[in-house]
Amino acid sequence: MTFNLAILTDNWPLLLDGMLLTIFIWVVGTAIGLAIGLAVAVLQLFTNRWLAAPLTFYVSVMRGTPFLIQLFVIYYGGPFFGLDLTPLVAGVGGLALYGGAYFSEIFRAGFLSVPPGQIEAARMMGISRINIIRHVQLPQMLVIILPALANMTVLLSKETAVLSVITVNEMTSVVQSIGSTTFAFAETLLFLAVVYWAFLEIVTALARRLEKRVGRFTLRNQH
């Protein structure tokens, strides 16, 4: 047996399509997940317990069960509840719901990290609840939670590989298909590992750069 790189070059268009779809799923799923997480955290903290209870249950279920099982339930179990989703929609939706539960806990911790005295002072000045969240709590907490948000974003990028089990034709699925056809599993799996590693290094570097810029911006505003 020899290591044949021609397997990769001959199938480059398929690999490129898989990479682009993986990036699309990750970006869209993460963006929706961030929106869900922020909404859930706000509703949990600033509404009555009757509304917060089902949201707490959602967070508990999504964090307490494997992402793979969640995908199976959404894609294969969806038709029993009237949800006949395509693999791509189920994959993006599942990633968003999964990430949203973790993001909500990060946002919740961020909200609670803001000193209560500042919130009370804003209330005394007659500032509305929504403006307190927007102008007092969010700017301060983002500096604190940005590393945790970046870490969760990186973790979600790796979870995209799981979507191959519901026939989403992302990078892992493409590599598995090429490997099954050519029996070149060493080449294809090594390629997959290298691409994910390079992708995560790039995302991590961008996140660290963003953290530094936000930190400098906050420091300037404080002075």
pLDDT reported for residue 57: 95
Give which of 119, 122, 124, 110 is closest to 44, Cα–Cα. 110
pLDDT reported for residue 81: 84
pLDDT bracket for residue 216 (50, 70, 90): low
Per DSSP, helices labelled H in the chain are: 6-10, 12-46, 49-64, 67-76, 87-113, 116-124, 129-132, 138-159, 171-182, 185-222
**pTM (two decimals):** 0.86
Over the stretch 20-66, which tens digit does the pLDDT of each residue have? 999 999 999 999 999 999 999 989 988 888 888 999 999 999 999 99
pLDDT reported for residue 91: 95
Over the stretch 118-127, which tens digit does the pLDDT of each residue have? 778 888 887 8
Over the stretch 57-86, which tens digit does the pLDDT of each residue have? 999 999 999 999 999 999 999 888 888 899
For residues 77 and 211, which has the higher predicted lDDT (pLDDT)? 77
Give which of 49, 4, 25 is closest to 190, Cα–Cα. 4
pLDDT reported for residue 83: 85
Q: How many CB atoms lie within 10 A of CB 189?
A: 14
pLDDT reported for residue 219: 53
pLDDT reported for residue 2: 65
pLDDT reported for residue 174: 93
pLDDT reported for residue 23: 93
* CATH value of 6-222 in 2.40.30.170, 3.30.70.2190, 3.40.50.2000, 1.10.3720.10: 1.10.3720.10
What Rg value do the Cα atoms of the chain yield, rounded? 21
Give domain limits for the chain. 6-222
Cβ atoms of 80 and 70 within 8 Å: the answer is no
Cβ atoms of 160 and 174 within 8 Å: the answer is no
Over the stretch 80-117, which tens digit does the pLDDT of each residue have? 888 889 999 999 999 999 999 999 999 999 888 887 78
Cβ atoms of 164 and 14 within 8 Å: the answer is no
Over the stretch 142-187, which tens digit does the pLDDT of each residue have? 878 888 998 899 899 899 999 999 989 999 999 999 988 888 888 8
pLDDT over 60 (residue 222):
no
pLDDT reported for residue 179: 87
Q: Tally the residues of the chain.
A: 223
